[in-house]
Amino acid sequence: MFDWLEMSAADLGRGIGNGSIDPVALTQAFLGAIDSHDARDRIYTVVTHDRAMAEAEAAAERARAGQRLSLLDGVPISWKDLFDSAGVATEAGSLLLKDRVPDQDAQVLINATAMGLVCLGKTHMSELAFSGLGLNPMTATPPCINDPKAVPGGSSSGAAASVAFGLAAAGIGSDTGGSVRIPSAWNDLVGLKTTEGRVSADGVVALCEKFDTVGPLCRTVEDAALMLAMLEGGTAPDLRGSSLQGKRFAILRTAAFDDIREAPLAGFTAAVDRLTDMGVEIDEIDAPEVSRALDLSGPLFTAEAYGLWQDVIEASPDLMFDQVLERFRIGASFDGPTYVSAWKALEEMRIEWDARVASYDAVLLPTSPILPPDAARLMSDQDYYVTENLMALRNTRVGNLMGLCGVSLPTTVPSCGLMMLGAPMEEERLLRVAAAVEPVIRTL
């Protein structure tokens, strides 16, 4: 039974389908593991026992009647604490939203429930989703699977921990500048960043509406593809027959390797070497528009974030972690014309990027140029916090700025991911390519 906690969501779904796994027993196993785990209250903000069991019982009845709603009908998953859930607190990792209880589910939770997924509860996150580190001294900082002294990555920190520690079959998070891919990489998971506007953000607490995306953190690429379908209430792409034959990749050299640490470089290099050994054509490219776009991160991200949250923040600033508060307030230094001109410039840079990479199946770069930083030092060393937070998000932010979809895959080096960036709205194509890459780069 405890093997269930380490299985992929797809394999659990197949087990339910062939009758070897009972959804009720499966959900009980996850709930028991959650409630007995030492880090329970650092990973989950709330565990929805009653909802989970009711949904599991309904899934079991459908399985017995041969009326399953999807392959994942009856599989238990977790939800980041910025997805509204009816009658359950949704506080986005912030004391500013304490006791905020929505009266209906977010649209993606409605969709997933309609496909038969079981809601285990809500997971901790960086404060208002505005940090890639996962450190949250105001509520809780979840653990990292590879280093008990390190942060897990954010902002979908608890989502990653719930899966990595066997307390959910998959976790649903959000990604504004890397918040799905960073914790996925640091916890050896697969993380899918969807294209902005593809998956509904209705009922999701916003950070930057022009960049916010919803995506899953999973054990496998197959799970990521299935979870995308669950979030949309659609059909998962068929990954069978995925092949590297004829594929062309580009390694982004601009900015992505600046000051990179030894382990992330080793993980990336090993992955690329394995792909090269398989005969994959890989070029190295420079993209000056990436550097220009990264330089616009201030007005593009912080101005919008502060614009959305200014009134709430300034009403009770003492309820915020000072590092996150300071980062929000940077947004006040940018005026309207600066913000508008930054967006106009970014739109032109996106055109440049699309033309530059049009002939490639994916662009490759290290998911993060650093390993998970030490949590205690982040609390005591302000310069370290600022440097590590910016470094953590630098590479992932490329995908958000250029409006792309992306996936982070584990490599053979712990906490070091390979990121693949694909064209906007081409998640199905990217996932098929990632499904072919996945077994290659995980091979020692």
- How far is Cα 86 from Cα 104, in angstroms, rounded to an integer? 4
* Per-residue pLDDT tens digits for 268-288: 999 999 999 999 999 999 999
pLDDT at 444 over 90: no
Does residue 326 sit in the same domain as residue 224?
A: no
Does residue 137 sit in the same domain as residue 256?
A: no
Please count the structural domains in the chain: 2
DSSP state of 95: G
List the 248-252 sheet strands across, edge first: 44-47, 118-123, 76-80, 171-175, 213-218, 190-193, 405-410, 417-422, 362-366, 248-252, 281-285
Does residue 275 sit in the same domain as residue 190?
A: no
Q: Please choose, from the candidates 76, 72, 34, the residue with its C-alpha nearest in 3D space to the C-alpha of residue 55.
A: 76
Assigned domain for 326 exists: yes
Burial of 385 (0-12, 13-18, 19+ CB in 10 A): buried
Average pLDDT, stretch 346-362? 98
**Going by DSSP bridges, is the β-strand pair 248-252/362-366 parallel, antiparallel, or unpaired?**
parallel
Structure tokens at 414: 């712990």
Does residue 23 sit in the same domain as residue 145?
A: yes
Does residue 213 sit in the same domain as residue 334?
A: no
Average pLDDT, stretch 246-265? 98
pLDDT at 174 over 80: yes
- DSSP of 404-443: -EEEEEE-SSTT-EEEEEE-TT-HHHHHHHHHHHHHHHT-
Residue type, 25: A
The torsion angles phi and psi of 250, rounded to 5 degrees, stand at -125, 135
pLDDT at 2 over 90: no
DSSP state of 402: T
Task: Taking each helix axis as running N to C, give the angle between helix 9-18 and helix 49-65, from 0 to 180 degrees, rounded to the nearest 10.
Answer: 50
**Going by DSSP bridges, is the β-strand pair 171-175/76-80 parallel, antiparallel, or unpaired?**
parallel
Does residue 157 sit in the same domain as residue 278?
A: no
Reported confidence tier of residue 1, pLDDT bands at 50, 70, 90: low
* Per-residue pLDDT tens digits for 281-323: 999 999 999 999 999 999 999 999 999 999 999 999 999 999 9
155 upstream amide cis, omega within 30 of 0: yes
Assigned domain for 354 exists: yes
- How far is Cα 404 from Cα 22, in angstroms, rounded to an integer? 39
Structure tokens at 166: 């066997």
Q: Can you give the three-state secondary structure of 20-46, one letter per residue?
A: CCCHHHHHHHHHHHHHHCCCHHHHEEE
User: Which among 232, 257, 286 is the end of a domain?
Assistant: 232
Does residue 115 sit in the same domain as residue 166?
A: yes
Contact assessment for residue 414 and residue 146, using Cβ atoms and an 8 Å cutoff: yes
Assigned domain for 94 exists: yes
Return all residues near 249 (Cβ < 8 A) that are at least 6 apart.
Answer: 275, 280, 281, 282, 283, 360, 361, 362, 363, 364, 420
DSSP state of 150: B
Does residue 163 sit in the same domain as residue 35?
A: yes
Contact assessment for residue 187 and residue 67, using Cβ atoms and an 8 Å cutoff: no
> Which DSSP helix (H) or strand (E) runs through 322?
helix 322-329
CATH of the domain at 98: 3.90.1300.10
pLDDT at 443 over 90: no
Q: Please choose, from the candidates 38, 129, 132, 117, the residue with its C-alpha nearest in 3D space to the C-alpha of residue 73.
A: 117
Assigned domain for 315 exists: no
Rg value, the chain, Cα: 20
Which residues participate in catalysis according to the annotation? 80, 155, 179
Residue with tokens 């990749």: 249
Q: Whole-model pTM? A: 0.98
Assigned domain for 243 exists: no
Distances in whole angstroms, Cα of residue 342 to Cα of each of 147, 203, 281, 290: 39, 28, 35, 14
Does residue 49 sit in the same domain as residue 164?
A: yes
pLDDT at 378 over 90: yes
Assigned domain for 261 exists: yes
Does residue 109 sit in the same domain as residue 217?
A: yes
How many helices (H) and strands (E) are present in the chain, helices listed first? 17, 11
Q: What is the pLDDT of residue 36?
A: 98
DSSP state of 9: H
Reported confidence tier of residue 120, pLDDT bands at 50, 70, 90: very high
Q: What is the pLDDT of residue 442?
A: 87
Assigned domain for 374 exists: yes
Q: Please choose, from the candidates 217, 173, 238, 202, the residue with its C-alpha nearest in 3D space to the C-alpha of residue 105.
A: 202
Owning domain of residue 282: 248-296+320-441
Does residue 259 sit in the same domain as residue 382?
A: yes
Assigned domain for 418 exists: yes
Does residue 73 sit in the same domain as residue 134?
A: yes
User: Which among 232, 267, 286 is the end of a domain?
Assistant: 232
